[in-house]
Chain A
Amino acid sequence: MTKRIVSYAVVAVLLIVTIVYSATTGSIKMGFFEFLGALFEPGNSQMEAIRDLRFPRMIVALFAGAALSVSGVLLQSVMRNPLADAGIIGISSGAAFVQLFIISFFPALFFMTPLFAFMGGAFACFLVFALSWRSGLSPLKLILVGIAINAMFTGLTEAFISFGGSLNVSASSVIGSNLTMRTWSDVSTIATYGTIGLILSFVLYSWCNLLVLQDKTAKSIGFHVTRARLIIAAVAVLLAAISVVVAGVISFVGLLVPHIARRLVGYDHKVLIPFTALLGALIILLADTIGRTIVSPLEIPASTIMAIIGGPFLIFLLRKE
């Protein structure tokens, strides 16, 4: 119990410290008190720049981190598989491909991008489910199927970009993740859908807890297993898709964060899901802040940093399985 409280407190403090550090560091530097003063001072030009460029980027990073991490928890619960992650098993790349495809051919539908990304993610999720169902969703089989699906959608996206250069799509924003040049309209997109997804996931905690039971046992206590799976998976896809739309594909967050979170606060989803959201927000903001300050003025995308940390971590988990 105390471990939970301490974990929450530590992560909350770290999150605040990181937010302040991130807001005051970069090409424009400020001291903490200078920053506080400037925050409420109208017409401060440095503050204007921070407000227009740095704040949206930070808020997007926070939401993307929370959304992807919670998406990971939900997928792991639905698939009863500790290795599920939207990035690794192809949900993110499915979302990215369909989004790119639709925008290229129907630019007028731009405002519906989140919907198409959701559909792409849902399709990839369905494929992974359908193809690994017969093996009882065994962790390794699911990962293998997922990696294949991921490769397929990533390949499709790359092929699409290479022969569609004239389509005027900023390819880099789809393939990799790049959090630079995010705007307040990006913020409003991810804040709206992200909040909806996160609230839904907090409400679904009791279902996630029940999914630790085998299907036949869960059925025997009157639990609609299939319905619960579908709804939880839909929320997971929504969270992953919205992150893709605004922040691009970031893998491994959904794997790394839930695992650390379980170590710290246990397996009860009532506590785990909110904690994962906090920790995920912290990790991605941290990764992005490090990425843009460490070799400034060059930048390392947050997704690259996550891949560098996440790859070895996945190997570690696979060896443990």
Chain B
Amino acid sequence: MEMKSIIVSHDNKTNHLDGVTTTIPKGEITTIIGPNGCGKSTLLSVLSRNNMPKSGSASLENRDLVMYKPKEFAKKLAIVYQQNDVPKDLTIEKLVSFGRLPHKTMLQRNQEEDHQAIDWALSVTNLVEKRHNDLEALSGGERQRVWIAMALAQQSEILCLDEPTTYLDIYYQIELLELVKSLNEEYGLTIVMVLHDINQAIRYSDQIIMMKDGQIIAEGPPREVITKDVIKKVYGVNAIFKEDDEIGLYMMSLGI
């Protein structure tokens, strides 16, 4: 996916994205990080067509995003939002089957391939045994996986995740990021996500886009982007970096 000089303004006063140009590489995990209000979620919403840019263009496979029909686009790109209302009296399987919408016409029943896609989505997110359970009865980590399963049922090539770990305990955070990693490695999905935790970004990303005040400050592989200078410039924090044999590079913030 490519973006050229994207400008987005929610209130027509300040630009929440101010001339963003970048390329999301296919088949990799790209993570957008930056302080609160830097425009990272806005960038994701432009990619997923939830927000239309004031100027500039975003394209997928050399075709402008606005040229795609809704269902056509939903077959290319799926997104999981940070917060989701939980509908009443809905089983996991029903919700996940909503993800098949772009592959169907209005009154069409689920075909064999729909059932296969739903089964696959439930099995990779480890929800097969709970498929008949109500959503309301699930834990936060499980709910997040259900929304991911719905997005997976779309069988898109690109999966976007907006702060998928924010409301989760650390156990579920790791579980979720491992899931994301396996989706990328085993099924070749292109992943674009927004994360808060810099160490998680370093560890799970191929590419990092570092943003501040609606602009991209640095982008590239984690080791090139996340440096002492960049952290100081973007977050205003003094940090040190260490290497660990097992997990590689990690960061500790020292002070402000």
Residues of chain A lying within 8 A (CB to CB) of residue B7: none
Known interface pairs A220-B78, A222-B73, A223-B70. Does A212 touch B50 (Cβ–Cβ under 8 Å)?
A: no
Q: How far is the CB of A318 from chain B (nearest CB, A)?
A: 18
Q: Which of B69, B79, B107 makes the CB contact (< 8 A) with A220?
A: B79
* A210 close to B (CB within 8 Å): yes
Known interface pairs A266-B89, A267-B90. Does A219 touch B84 (Cβ–Cβ under 8 Å)?
A: no
* B102 close to A (CB within 8 Å): yes
Known interface pairs A206-B106, A216-B50. Does A223 touch B85 (Cβ–Cβ under 8 Å)?
A: no
- Bound-state CA distance A223–B72 (Å) is 11
Q: Which of A213, A214, A222, A266 makes the CB contact (< 8 A) with B74?
A: A222
- Bound-state CA distance A155–B88 (Å) is 38
Residues of chain A lying within 8 A (CB to CB) of residue B84: 214, 217
Q: Is the CB of A203 within 8 A of B154?
A: no
Q: Which of A213, A220, A223 makes the CB contact (< 8 A) with B48?
A: A220
Which A residues from 185 to 230 make CB contacts under 8 A with B?
Answer: 203, 206-207, 210, 212-214, 216-217, 219-224
Q: Is the CB of B101 within 8 A of A203?
A: no
Known interface pairs A206-B107, A212-B87, A212-B90. Does A219 touch B70 (Cβ–Cβ under 8 Å)?
A: yes
Q: Is the CB of A203 within 8 A of B81?
A: no
* B167 close to A (CB within 8 Å): no
- Bound-state CA distance A271–B127 (Å) is 26
Q: Is the CB of B107 within 8 A of A203?
A: yes
Q: Is the CB of B98 within 8 A of A219?
A: no
Residues of chain A lying within 8 A (CB to CB) of residue B89: 262, 266-268
Q: Is the CB of A221 within 8 A of B98?
A: yes
**What are the interface flags for B80-117 relative to A under an 8 Å C-beta threshold, 1 for contact and 0 otherwise?**
01001101111000100011011000110000000000
Number of A-B contacts (CB under 8 A): 58
Which interface class (under 10, 10 to 19, 20 to 34, 35 or more) fits B? 20 to 34
Residues of chain B lying within 8 A (CB to CB) of residue A268: 89, 94
Q: Is the CB of A221 within 8 A of B85?
A: no
* B16 close to A (CB within 8 Å): no
Q: Is the CB of B102 within 8 A of A222?
A: yes
Residues of chain B lying within 8 A (CB to CB) of residue A213: 85, 87, 98
- Bound-state CA distance A268–B99 (Å) is 17
* B145 close to A (CB within 8 Å): no
Residues of chain B lying within 8 A (CB to CB) of residue A267: 87-90
Q: Is the CB of A222 within 8 A of B90?
A: no
Known interface pairs A212-B87, A267-B89. Does A221 touch B150 (Cβ–Cβ under 8 Å)?
A: yes
Residues of chain A lying within 8 A (CB to CB) of residue B147: 217
Residues of chain B lying within 8 A (CB to CB) of residue A219: 49-50, 70
Q: How far is the CB of B178 from chain A (nearest CB, A)?
A: 24
* B40 close to A (CB within 8 Å): no
Known interface pairs A212-B90, A216-B50. Does A221 touch B106 (Cβ–Cβ under 8 Å)?
A: no
* B212 close to A (CB within 8 Å): no
Q: Is the CB of A223 within 8 A of B107?
A: no
Known interface pairs A220-B50, A220-B78, A221-B154. Does A214 touch B101 (Cβ–Cβ under 8 Å)?
A: no
Nearest B residue to A210 via CB reads B98
- Bound-state CA distance A223–B154 (Å) is 12
- Bound-state CA distance A199–B71 (Å) is 26
Nearest B residue to A220 via CB reads B79
- Bound-state CA distance A223–B104 (Å) is 11
**B84, B89, B98: residue with the most chain A Cβ atoms closer than 10 Å:** B98
Q: How far is the CB of B136 from chain A (nearest CB, A)?
A: 11
Q: Is the CB of A214 within 8 A of B85?
A: yes
Q: Is the CB of B81 within 8 A of A221?
A: no
Q: How far is the CB of A145 from chain B (nearest CB, A)?
A: 22
Residues of chain B lying within 8 A (CB to CB) of residue A206: 106-107
Nearest A residue to B104 via CB reads A206
**What are the interface flags for A100-129 relative to B under an 8 Å C-beta threshold, 1 for contact and 0 otherwise?**
000000000000000000000000000000
Q: How far is the CB of A80 from chain B (nearest CB, A)?
A: 9
Q: Which of A207, A214, A221 makes the CB contact (< 8 A) with B99?
A: A221
- Bound-state CA distance A203–B85 (Å) is 26
Nearest B residue to A215 via CB reads B50
Residues of chain B lying within 8 A (CB to CB) of residue A210: 98, 101
Residues of chain B lying within 8 A (CB to CB) of residue A224: 70
- Bound-state CA distance A114–B52 (Å) is 40
Q: Is the CB of B70 within 8 A of A217?
A: no
Known interface pairs A203-B107, A206-B107, A216-B50. Does A221 touch B102 (Cβ–Cβ under 8 Å)?
A: yes
Nearest A residue to B101 via CB reads A221
Which A residues from 230 to 256 make CB contacts under 8 A with B?
Answer: none
- Bound-state CA distance A266–B81 (Å) is 27
- Bound-state CA distance A223–B99 (Å) is 10
Q: Is the CB of A222 within 8 A of B87?
A: no
- 10 residue pairs, one from A and one from B, having the closest CB atoms: A222-B74, A222-B71, A212-B87, A222-B102, A267-B89, A222-B70, A221-B101, A220-B79, A266-B89, A221-B74
Excluding A222-B72, A223-B101, 6 further A-B contacts by CB distance (< 8 Å) are A207-B106, A217-B81, A219-B50, A220-B74, A221-B98, A224-B70
> Could you tell me which B residues sit within 8 Å of A by CB distance?
48-50, 69-75, 78-79, 81, 84-85, 87-90, 94, 98-99, 101-102, 106-107, 147, 150-151, 154
A-B contact pairs, 5 of them (CB 8 A): A212-B90, A214-B85, A217-B81, A220-B78, A221-B154
